[in-house]
Amino acid sequence: MSLKNSNAIPKQIRAVVGGMRRAVQRYFLVDGIKNILLALLVLIIVDFALDKTFRMDWSQRLIMLILSLTVIGYVVYRKLLAPLFSRLSDDALMIELEKAEGGMNEVLISALELSRMDISNNENVSAQMLENSVKEGADAASKVNIISAFRRKKMRANMFVLASIFLCYLIGGISASRDQGLDIWYKRNVLLSNIPWPSNYALELSGYKDGKIRVPRGEEWSLLVSVQKGYKELPSSVVLEYKYERGSRKNSESMVPNASGDEFRSSIVDVSDPLKIRVRSKEYDTEWIDLELVDRPKIKNFSILASYPEYTGLNEQILSSDEGPYSVLNGTSIKLTGEVNKSLRKASVTVSGNEYPLKIEGKTFTGSLPKEQVISGVYEVDVEDLEEMGVSEGGDLMGLGLREKATFKIRIQNDRKPKVVASVQGVSGLIVPQARIPYVGKIDDDYAVEEVVIRYSWKEDQGEREEFEGTLVPADVAQLLGAKVIPLDGGLDLNGMEIPLNSRFSMVLTAKDNNEISGPSIGESTKILLRVVGEAELRTDLLRREKEQRQILLELVKKQDILLTDTGALAAELLEVEVLGRSEKERLAVLQKRQKLLSVNINNIVKRLNGMVSEILNNRLEEEDGILKQRLRQKVIDPLAVLVEEVIPVAALELDSARRILAKEARNESMRIASQFQVTALEAMKEVLVHMVRNEGYQQAVNLLYEIQREQERMNKMTAKAKEKALDEVVREKKEKNDADKGQNGNVEGLKKDETKKGDN
């Protein structure tokens, strides 16, 4: 072979170099695919374990997918693309081949290098030697087994690893078609779907609907999470995570379980700003859920209309919204009317656990509660707008109610019974059977008095003590019935009732109103108790009371006498005094006070004696012009009344003038006039006192005659009762004797019949 000036590489060497290059590329391809598949397998295993263990959310899974793709891309570039696209020199391939063959003493590399040499201008190089060397290398190259050389190294191991990896993928693919876990991982981490991992339980969020939870704006909110039915086990803990849209602030907190562990509740969270939440546990978690803030409805106006019972005569009345509690009459119905700032789904009013629906129309609500439903209690008015806040237990959509329910309190008042105030006048605790009992007072009702009745009764102190009861309609109030207030000024005449002596008499005035709902109501006056006695006993009691007034008058006479003496002494002391000092003025004031007090005491005697005169008339002890009445009027009451009205006031006034007057002469004149009227009062009081003393004996004699008459009547009654008793005894003995005779005759007839029967036998 002639290589005279040739740099051509023998085809044997070019074939070896090409084969070597292809073998290297196959090696890099196998090695790269192996590393890629191995890295992918490792990433799948790691991602599967992480997602299965920690239940990553969508963003975390996206990050893991991006990281995995990045790692795979890096491995593809580093282990596959970079080696494949790298250009290895022919020399390096020859050296690598000689290492793989061994014992070639660099024949191949020498032939390759010599074949590329240009020796046309180099006379010092032997062309024959170059040709021989190249030929020797070509012969050696034709004998090299490139494939066996590479298989003896890493190619075999790579093929084994690659086969193992393919086997793993094959097994994984078969398992994925049968095992739900790998399918879920593929959908979650490759397709990034939100399919959850299988769990022993599932969590359900209250209020979750259409991918969000709607909550009232600006209020504290607490989330309730419950474990759905059919769970295999309960979660040990649940964590609530929430983050606000403004800023990256993210918080988490552990939810508090209930006693059974199937419900978890979060603490209070302020939802003034929009935020997102999610719930996580060891085996279950949710995606991030938006909390949509909605405004609660607000009441713009609200009114309560009360319709009172017809018998009251009251019209409908609006209960003021700024007052309460409201007191309404039993039998009243109410009507509620209100308006809010949002359209409504429903409205209701609740009292004592009873809920009554209200009629709605747009933003307004109205409703009526009849009298049967109006009770005492706190009424709560609540509405529900058209917001879809969730679903109730019955499956109905739930709206948003008021932040604070509109409340009002009603107290039911029964129609008060008529108030009857009555008292007797002109009689004391003792009356006679023919007396007239005057009464005065007033009947007061809220609406109308329909009926007035006097109920009376008496019971004897002795004997069988039977009680008699009766009623009487007073004629003086007949024309006043139907009014709210009825004055009482009449009398109960006992004449003709034949009330026995020594009886206890009582009377009560009753009034009935026009209450048609819970009534009618009946009011009663205080029971008036009287004792029925004879005239003698009543006259004795009057005499006793007259003696008491005489004793009081006697004491007043003594006080008036002392007062006259003190006034005269003070007048003598002040006779030459120009200006009164403090001590003298105080003494005059004391005298004036004593004089006024004396007048008051005398006036009390006049009132008591006038009462005795009225008692004489009402008990019909005398006629209108009777001696006892005339004596008390003319000799006692009228003179004392003149003292109280004309004499004593002048004396007190002059004492007061003497204290105030500065001039000595005028003061002395006032003192003289005061003393003069005091003397007049004292003489009149003594004259009345003398008359009362003189007439006590006469009155005692009259009373003694009445006492004798009463004893005589009592003896007559006792004699009549004794005769009646003796007559009853005779009748009883006669009846017993007749009964005995009849029994004896019956025995004789029986003996005769027995004898007759014996004879027949």
Q: Which helix or strand (DSSP H or E) is residue 364 part of?
A: strand 364-369
- Helix spans in 205-291 (H): none
Low-confidence ranges of the chain (pLDDT < 50): 1-7, 748, 751, 758, 761
Q: Are 252 and 241 in contact (CB under 8 A)?
A: yes
In whole angstroms, what is the distance from residue 523 CA to residue 314 CA? 22
- Per-residue pLDDT, 559: 92
In whole angstroms, what is the distance from residue 268 CA to residue 255 CA? 11
DSSP β-ladder status, 406-413 and 326-329:
parallel
In whole angstroms, what is the distance from residue 307 CA to residue 315 CA? 7
CA 37 to chain centre: 72
Closest C-alpha to 383, from 369, 404, 368, 410: 404
- Per-residue pLDDT, 248: 57
In whole angstroms, what is the distance from residue 452 CA to residue 481 CA? 8
**What is the b/e burial string over 683-711, where b = at least 16 CB atoms within 10 angstroms of the residue's CB?**
ebbeebbebbeebeeebeebbeebbeebe
In whole angstroms, what is the distance from residue 242 CA to residue 234 CA? 23
In whole angstroms, what is the distance from residue 266 CA to residue 274 CA? 18
pTM of the model: 0.56
In whole angstroms, what is the distance from residue 416 CA to residue 35 CA? 102
Length of the chain measured in residues:
761
- Per-residue pLDDT, 501: 85
Q: What is the pLDDT of residues 678-694, one digit of tens each?
A: 999 999 999 988 888 87
The SS3 call for residue 5 is: coil
In whole angstroms, what is the distance from residue 127 CA to residue 119 CA? 7
Average pLDDT, the chain: 80
